[in-house]
Amino acid sequence: MKNFKILSLIGIAILAVSCEEDFLETYPTASLSQEQVSEAVAVNPDAAAGTLLGIYENLYRIGSGGVGGQEDYGIKTQDIQLDILSGDMAHLGKSYNRQTQISELTATVDPDSNYNYIPWRFLYRVINLSNLVIDGLGGDGADLTTDVQKHTMGQARALRGWAYYWLVNLFVDDIANLSAPAVPIYTSADQLEQPKSSVQEVFNQALSDLLAAETLLEGYSRSNKIEMNQDIVRGLLAYTYGAMNDWAKTEEYAQKVVTAGYPIMTANEVAVMGEGDNVGGFNDVNSHPGIIWGIDITAQNELYSLGTWWGWMDYYSYSYAAVGNYKGMDATLFSQMRADDIRQNQFPFGLLIPAGKFYWKGAQEAGFRGFSGPQLNVDSDAHFMRVSELYLLHAEAAAENGNEAAAKASLKALLDERVSDSSYVDALTGQDLIDEIVLQTRLELFAEGKAYFLMKRRRMTKTRGANWLDYAGESFNHNDDRLTYEIPQSEILFNPNISDQN
């Protein structure tokens, strides 16, 4: 962790210029030039790592979406909002009027809303800062001669590919329409405003980056879980192929992660399982080998609960989740959970809030008392990917490919840690098997931001349960405009090559 802080300071120049007000930040080079990046990587491996960590810091930092408010803290902001848009996370309380425009589906049709601006700015910031590193190393086709250069380039291209995968999902109503206009593509930091590329072209860019990263990161051993390694890239490739319904490639890449040796999180790790259970809560990425991508946050990061995922989702922290701005599992989804499922313990209260799944690490010591967690200097971590989701994605793709034995094996590997008897899966075939995999994906990954991408890739229609405050009982198709962010009005105003919404 000490190395992470030192390298973060080395990368501070990138972080500083990323806070400028230019909308797409086409030239974020006032404090750090492409030549400086190239020279630093050539002479100092630590400088290369620090440059990347300056980009990674945007994934969790307050203000990474250019607004700086309490709903602007990188990936985990979107995990909450995307789960709400997917219909799996019900907004159950509206104290302080936070994120109500998401559950009411008004922000997503208002191009002037910051709810649209934040993810757009956040993702293009990651792209542009990644381009700065890529350009400094000579561009996409550079002849890289050292491992440091290759691993730096591999992570930068992985970050850029991840951002394009997110953009096409978040800002396009129907990703099945591959010829539809999507979002601009930038592959160099000095490119001026670009027009929209098609859905197919954006997916192709994401795949190009991720496939290149897979090769470049061969043999790379990371020092922190925030860094992307080859397994993370392969997981992202599986997701990208899945979004395109290329099930053969999805199965192939998910299988690579499944067989990489990461353990599925146990019952004690995913739910409160009684007195003396102190390994759960999803609050320490280093304590859970099943979490394969995330950030180890300490008090030195100086985060406050009102501007972190924990303040919005952890009932025990001194923040919104404890004072009436509740978010819980959709009641219809919860009703489909088996009686012997240990994930029942994730929801100890009648509101179905996940107080037994996500909680501050000191909650047990305080007797799981509300307001027991910190408001300042939050040290609970943020996780972005765990191996369980790749088991489920592998099962989904294998079932789609007719490889039902492999699908059942992956599904049961997870369920053996969740239910007392997974043998019921043996009798499932065809659509029944796929439906069970989809259900288990929704139950397992609740509030982790994955249900939205599941809805998009499966072209699903979702119906809100009886516990919703908004639109209870109403159904929404995956391509409903209200479930997708608008291109910010400021982008349409200042980019002469874009004049309309998707």
Residue 457 maps to a domain? yes
Question: Of the given ranges (167-181, 355-369, 468-482), which has the lowest mean pLDDT?
Answer: 355-369
Residue 361 maps to a domain? no
Give the per-residue pLDDT at 45. Answer: 65
Q: Which tokens in the block code for residue 310? A: 């924990």
Which is nearest to 170 in space by CA: 124, 132, 234, 212? 124
Using the predicted structure, report yes or no on whether residue 5 has a pLDDT greater than 60.
no
Residue with more model confidence, 62 or 16 = 62
**Mean of per-residue pLDDT scores for the chain:** 90
- pLDDT tier for residue 33 given thresholds of 50, 70 and 90: low
Give the per-residue pLDDT at 15. Answer: 44
Give the per-residue pLDDT at 240. Answer: 98
- pLDDT tier for residue 425 given thresholds of 50, 70 and 90: very high
Q: Which tokens in the block code for residue 352? A: 């179905």
Using the predicted structure, report yes or no on whether residue 449 has a pLDDT greater than 80.
yes
Using the predicted structure, report yes or no on whether residue 23 has a pLDDT greater than 60.
no
Question: Of the given ranges (26-40, 347-361, 401-415), which has the lowest mean pLDDT?
Answer: 26-40
Backbone dihedral region of 274: left (phi > 0), alpha (psi from -120 to 50 degrees) or beta? left
Mean pLDDT over 237-252 rounds to: 98
Using the predicted structure, report yes or no on whether residue 409 has a pLDDT greater than 70.
yes
Residue 344 maps to a domain? no
- pLDDT tier for residue 140 given thresholds of 50, 70 and 90: very high
Distance CA 410, CA 184 (A): 37
- pLDDT tier for residue 370 given thresholds of 50, 70 and 90: confident
Residue 316 maps to a domain? no
- Do the beta carbons of residue 65 and residue 122 sit within 8 Å? yes
- Do the beta carbons of residue 470 and residue 104 sit within 8 Å? yes
Question: What's the domain range around 438?
Answer: 2-268+384-494
Mean pLDDT over 295-312 rounds to: 84
- pLDDT tier for residue 229 given thresholds of 50, 70 and 90: very high
Using the predicted structure, report yes or no on whether residue 413 has a pLDDT greater than 50.
yes
Q: Give me the number of domains the chain comprises.
A: 1
Distance CA 74, CA 129 (A): 15
Residue 184 maps to a domain? yes
Find the CATH number of the domain harbouring 445. 1.25.40.390
Using the predicted structure, report yes or no on whether residue 9 has a pLDDT greater than 70.
no
| Residue found under tokens 């701005």 | 325
Give the per-residue pLDDT at 43. Answer: 67
- pTM, whole model, 2 decimals? 0.93
- Do the beta carbons of residue 180 and residue 199 sit within 8 Å? yes
Using the predicted structure, report yes or no on whether residue 30 has a pLDDT greater than 60.
no
Question: Of the given ranges (138-152, 251-265, 451-465), which has the lowest mean pLDDT?
Answer: 138-152
- pLDDT tier for residue 431 given thresholds of 50, 70 and 90: very high
Residue 433 maps to a domain? yes
- pLDDT tier for residue 338 given thresholds of 50, 70 and 90: very high
Distance CA 17, CA 132 (A): 12
Angle between helices 230-243 and 199-216 (to 10 degrees): 160
Residue 440 maps to a domain? yes
Using the predicted structure, report yes or no on whether residue 14 has a pLDDT greater than 70.
no
**How crowded is residue 275: how many other Cβ atoms within 10 Å of its Cβ?**
7
Mean pLDDT over 454-475 rounds to: 98
For a pLDDT cut of 90, what percent of the chain falls above it? 76
Q: What one-character DSSP code corresponds to residue 321?
A: G
In 95-193, the DSSP E strands lie at: 181-184
**pLDDT tens figures, 270-290:** 998 876 566 799 999 999 999
For a pLDDT cut of 70, what percent of the chain falls above it? 91
Using the predicted structure, report yes or no on whether residue 487 has a pLDDT greater than 50.
yes
Residue 127 maps to a domain? yes
**pLDDT tens figures, 286-303:** 999 999 999 999 877 777
Largest CA distance in the chain: 62
**pLDDT tens figures, 34-89:** 677 777 766 676 777 777 888 999 999 999 999 988 899 999 999 999 999 999 99
**pLDDT tens figures, 166-218:** 999 999 999 999 999 999 999 999 999 999 999 999 999 999 999 999 999 99
Residue with more model confidence, 276 or 14 = 276
